[in-house]
Amino acid sequence: MSRSLRLSLILVGLAVLALVVAVVVTRPQSSPSSDSGAGEQGELVRPDSPRLTEGSEVQLVEFLDFECESCGAIYPYTEDLKARYGDRFEFVVRYMPLHVSSVNAALAAEAAGAQGSYEEMYDVLFERQAQWGHQQTAQREVFFDYAEELGLDMTRFEADFDDPAALARIERDRADGQAVGVTGTPTFFLDGEQLPIDSVDDLESALIEALDG
């Protein structure tokens, strides 16, 4: 091997080594989660995720989109489950915004929740979904009208609605959902396991089986 060829190979090797070192040094380092649990469970529920019931026997998590017609269709059934079994299971809401006004609807729920009226706004958003959903432009003022009807402090509501931290929580939910395999709404998890649901009867049967088990 000629001296010039040997030198060229050495220089190429050094360049490759430098590139590998640069990639390792600049790669983002994972940090321990502050949430309880690990892996998928740590991403499935966050400490500040809204809870609609506080039972302790099992945990039901719904990734939802307030603008999703299927979520609106299943809403009366989850309300029925809450009424009958709500003292026995924890019902956790996570957001998976997929439509034009989905994020603003979730922001309205978060802003109402800051004043202790999360569930009231949750109910209004689903009960009036046909009025505001699937518009060509993102709705905002209609959610402010709902907040006013609920008797909320509108100055505070606007501040909480526009708070970047609220938007960050919603985007975090979306990221968490993608991490645990959510591809559409509604998607339910029962005690950490995703539920394959073909009908509302499947949801109730799974919940009752978990409670009885």
User: What CATH number matches the domain at 43-212, 3.40.30.10, 3.40.50.720, 1.20.140.10, 1.10.150.120?
Assistant: 3.40.30.10
Residue 119 has pLDDT above 50, yes or no: yes
Residue 134 has pLDDT above 60, yes or no: yes
Which is it for the CA torsion 54, 57, 63, 68, positive or negative?
A: negative
- Closest C-alpha to 112, from 62, 158, 75: 158
Write the CB contacts of 179 (distance below 8 Å, at least 6 apart in sequence). 40, 43
Q: Are 78 and 47 in contact (CB under 8 A)?
A: no
CA–CA separation, 161 vs 159, rounded Å? Answer: 5
Q: What three-state secondary structure class fits 189? A: strand
What tokens does 52 get?
A: 């609609």
CA–CA separation, 37 vs 45, rounded Å? Answer: 9
For the chain, the first-to-last Cα distance in angstroms comes to 74
Nearest 5°: the CA angle 119, 149, 110 is 35
Write the CB contacts of 124 (distance below 8 Å, at least 6 apart in sequence). 146, 149, 150
Could you tell me the pLDDT band of residue 3, with boundaries at 50, 70 and 90?
Answer: very low
CA–CA separation, 44 vs 168, rounded Å? Answer: 16
Residue 199 has pLDDT above 80, yes or no: yes
Looking at residue 25, what is its pLDDT? 29
How many CB atoms are closer than 10 A to CB 194?
Answer: 16
Could you tell me the pLDDT band of residue 137, with boundaries at 50, 70 and 90?
Answer: very high
Looking at residue 213, what is its pLDDT? 85
CA–CA separation, 112 vs 104, rounded Å? Answer: 12
45-103 residue pLDDT tens:
999 999 999 999 999 999 999 999 999 999 999 999 999 999 999 999 999 999 999 99
Residue 1 has pLDDT above 80, yes or no: no
147-180 residue pLDDT tens:
999 999 999 999 999 999 999 999 999 999 999 9
When pLDDT is averaged across residues 185-207 and rounded to a whole number, the result is 96
User: How far is Cα of residue 67 from the mean position of the Cα atoms in its chain?
Assistant: 14
pTM: 0.80
What tokens does 61 get?
A: 């998590």
Looking at residue 11, what is its pLDDT? 38
When pLDDT is averaged across residues 179-192 and rounded to a whole number, the result is 97
The alpha helices in the chain, defined as continuous H runs, are 3-26, 39-44, 69-85, 102-113, 118-127, 129-132, 141-149, 154-161, 164-179, 200-212
7-28 residue pLDDT tens:
343 333 433 333 332 322 223 3
